[in-house]
């Protein structure tokens, strides 16, 4: 990803929830054109439609190499919630060839029959996948039949330590969900900007963990209680956004509920924009959820051959390293580590220590009745009622 496209321009001070979207579209358009021009018509032809999370833009080299080898016309759609993806998939004609669902959602989607069973023989780079990790994700995708792991990460907070210290005092502890879920604290941070992920299925499990409850609870009362906690902080939340990177990098927000790898990108963009504040990722001990992003081929995909080529390319050792170097999330290709920038392999936000990793809880699939409930509570919460 060329961060020149995404770094904040001067003077854009207003708080806006979805500032990244048009920029991402521009970037996608730029990449799309480059790919078509660079393509070699002797190879695969036709289209490839990808629906990918904002800021999951594959590394620049990864895309360019693919473009050189293949003559596909690649188009990207930008995703900022699993619920949107799910609605598209369940419609039966998503229009996409490769999609990027999160682990907590994939098993229900598999049950609903939205994915093509994978023909692993068409993914020769499968040998590069981490066998331990494949075992772990088989709890969501039994037998690894439908999903290819892309990257993984955790839920936590991105902090502008410089601003947060100004708001809370220099000795305030910066290690727990109090920063986002304790009204006394959030009220103070409101002055410098508080951002929350715009996805109920990320927020509720972490409020439950903060309350000392089971983050994957199936008890409706737990969610009602979590809603009461959220209601108290509602007045201090300045935006709901899953594309908050530039808001943090530009200094409009001083705290964001965030996905781990995004923080590396925020730091880089802040630096490029000449900001001198310290950006830190906090995953509260024992209260931070782990997730995987998969690549799946919808059953109705029109360009399955190209989908396989794309997925296979993503699992190349050097391409996987390029992805981590660009988007600061680890992939499922362990060998790629050799080619990853040392400051990233040394960064516990990107590569948590074994001890930290043991403390993460797996974000489990959410039961449909609970999903229904939290969707309703979430709308109430956002509306401030
Ligand atoms: C990165 C999106 C991560 C998705 N911007 C987390 N489930």
Helices (H), 8-100: 20-38, 60-69, 82-90
Task: Give the per-residue pLDDT at 59.
Answer: 63
Report the separation in Å between the CA atom of 328 and the middle of ligand 1, taken as the mean of its atom positions. Answer: 11
pLDDT tier, 41 (very low <50, low <70, confident <90, very high otherwise): very low
With the most atoms of ligand 1 within 8 angstroms of its CB, the residue from 51, 52, 53, 365 to mutate is 53
Buried/exposed code over 80-105 (b: 16+ C-beta within 10 A; e: otherwise):
bbbbebbebbeeeebebbbbbbbbbb
Q: Which domain holds residue 88?
A: 20-153+292-351
Work out the burial of residue 232: count CB atoms within 10 Å of its CB; fewer than 13 is exposed, 13-18 middle, 19 or more buried: middle
Partner residues linked to 149 by β-bridges:
294
Report the separation in Å between the CA atom of 259 and the middle of ligand 1, taken as the mean of its atom positions. Answer: 6
The number of the ligand 1 atom at minimal distance from the alpha carbon of 329 is: 1
Task: Give the per-residue pLDDT at 330.
Answer: 97
Q: Is the CB of 292 under 6 A from ligand 1?
A: no
The number of the ligand 1 atom at minimal distance from the alpha carbon of 103 is: 7
383 vs 191: CA distance, rounded Å: 21
Q: Is the CB of 291 under 6 A from ligand 1?
A: yes
Q: Phi/psi at 78 (nearest 5 deg)?
A: -105, 130
Task: Give the per-residue pLDDT at 33.
Answer: 37
Domain-located, residue 6: no
Q: Is the CB of 198 under 6 A from ligand 1?
A: no
Q: Is the CB of 56 under 6 A from ligand 1?
A: yes
Is the domain of 25 the same as that of 96? yes
Mean pLDDT of 250-278: 96
Mean pLDDT of 3-14: 29
Integer-rounded Cα Rg, in Å, for the chain is 20
254 vs 247: CA distance, rounded Å: 9
Domain-located, residue 241: yes
Task: Give the per-residue pLDDT at 49.
Answer: 92
pLDDT tier, 75 (very low <50, low <70, confident <90, very high otherwise): confident
Contacts of 37 (CB under 8 A, 6+ apart): none
Is the domain of 275 the same as that of 341? no
Is the domain of 278 the same as that of 309? no
Is the domain of 285 the same as that of 307? no
Q: Is the CB of 262 under 6 A from ligand 1?
A: yes
Q: Phi/psi at 221 (nearest 5 deg)?
A: -60, -35
With 0.75 as the threshold, say if the pTM is over it: yes
Report the separation in Å between the CA atom of 170 and the middle of ligand 1, taken as the mean of its atom positions. Answer: 31
Helices (H), the chain: 20-38, 60-69, 82-90, 103-111, 131-137, 161-168, 178-181, 183-189, 200-210, 220-233, 245-249, 260-272, 304-314, 317-327, 342-345, 354-359, 368-383
pLDDT digit string (tens) for 285-322? 999 999 999 999 999 999 999 999 999 999 999 999 99
- Written as six digits, the tokens of 292 are 């995987």
Task: Give the per-residue pLDDT at 57.
Answer: 66
Is the domain of 267 the same as that of 317? no
Residue 295 CB neighbours (<10 A): 22
Domain-located, residue 3: no
Is the domain of 248 the same as that of 127? no
Report the separation in Å between the CA atom of 67 and the middle of ligand 1, taken as the mean of its atom positions. Answer: 25
Task: Give the per-residue pLDDT at 43.
Answer: 64
Is the domain of 323 the same as that of 369? no
* Structural domains of the chain, count: 2
The number of the ligand 1 atom at minimal distance from the alpha carbon of 243 is: 5
pLDDT digit string (tens) for 326-353? 999 999 999 999 999 999 999 999 999 9
- Report whether pLDDT(184) > 50: yes
Q: Is the CB of 360 under 6 A from ligand 1?
A: no
Task: Give the per-residue pLDDT at 60.
Answer: 65
- Written as six digits, the tokens of 315 are 């699992």
CATH at 220 = 3.40.190.10
Is the domain of 163 the same as that of 268? yes
With the most atoms of ligand 1 within 8 angstroms of its CB, the residue from 293, 328, 330 to mutate is 293
Domain-located, residue 300: yes
Report the separation in Å between the CA atom of 103 and the middle of ligand 1, taken as the mean of its atom positions. Answer: 11
Report the separation in Å between the CA atom of 53 and the middle of ligand 1, taken as the mean of its atom positions. Answer: 6
- Report whether pLDDT(14) > 60: no
Q: Is the CB of 259 under 6 A from ligand 1?
A: yes
- Report whether pLDDT(36) > 50: no
Task: Give the per-residue pLDDT at 372.
Answer: 96
- Report whether pLDDT(246) > 50: yes
Share of the chain above pLDDT 70, in %: 87
User: Please, what is the average pLDDT of the chain?
Assistant: 88
Is the domain of 137 the same as that of 111? yes
Cβ–Cβ under 8 Å, residues 72 and 39: yes
Nearest C-alpha to atom 2 of ligand 1 is from which residue?
A: 53
Nearest C-alpha to atom 7 of ligand 1 is from which residue?
A: 102
Report the separation in Å between the CA atom of 54 and the middle of ligand 1, taken as the mean of its atom positions. Answer: 8
Is the domain of 26 the same as that of 126? yes
pLDDT digit string (tens) for 357-374? 899 999 999 999 999 999
């Amino acid at each position: 990803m060329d961060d020149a496209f995404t770094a904040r321009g001067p003077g854009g001070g207003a708080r806006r929830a979805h500032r990244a979207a048009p920029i991402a579209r521009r970037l996608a358009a730029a990449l799309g054109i480059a790919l078509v021009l660079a393509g070699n018509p002797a190879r695969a032809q036709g289209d490839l439609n990808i629906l990918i999370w904002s800021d999951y833009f594959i590394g620049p080299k990864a895309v360019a190499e693919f473009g050189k080898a293949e003559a596909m016309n690649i188009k990207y759609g930008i995703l900022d919630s699993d619920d949107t993806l799910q609605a598209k998939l369940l419609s039966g004609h998503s229009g996409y060839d490769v999609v990027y669902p999160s682990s907590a959602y994939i098993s229900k989607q598999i049950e609903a029959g939205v994915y093509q069973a994978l023909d692993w023989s068409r993914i020769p780079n499968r040998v590069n996948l981490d066998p331990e990790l494949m075992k772990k994700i088989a709890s969501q995708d039994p037998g690894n039949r439908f999903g290819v792991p892309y990257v993984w990460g955790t839920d936590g907070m991105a902090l502008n330590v410089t601003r947060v210290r100004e708001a809370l005092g220099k000795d305030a502890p910066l290690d727990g969900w109090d920063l986002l879920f304790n009204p006394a604290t959030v009220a103070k941070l409101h002055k410098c900007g508080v951002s929350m992920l715009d996805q109920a299925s990320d927020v509720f499990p972490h409020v439950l963990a903060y309350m000392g409850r089971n983050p994957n609870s199936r008890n409706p009362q737990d969610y009602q209680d979590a809603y009461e906690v959220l209601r108290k902080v509602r007045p201090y939340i300045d935006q709901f956004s899953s594309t908050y990177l530039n808001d943090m990098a530009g200094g409009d927000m001083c705290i964001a509920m965030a996905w781990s790898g995004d923080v590396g990108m925020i730091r880089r963009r802040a630096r490029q924009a000449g900001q001198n504040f310290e950006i830190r990722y906090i995953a509260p001990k024992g209260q931070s959820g782990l997730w995987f992003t998969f690549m799946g081929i919808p059953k109705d995909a029109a360009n399955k051959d190209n989908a396989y080529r794309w997925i296979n390319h993503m699992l190349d050792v050097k391409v996987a390293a390029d992805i981590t170097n660009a988007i600061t999330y680890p992939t499922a290709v362990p060998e790629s580590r050799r080619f990853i920038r040392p400051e990233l392999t040394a960064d516990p936000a990107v590569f948590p220590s074994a001890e930290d990793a043991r403390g993460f809880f797996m974000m489990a699939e959410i039961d449909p009745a609970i999903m229904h409930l939290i969707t309703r509570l979430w709308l109430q919460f956002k509306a401030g009622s």
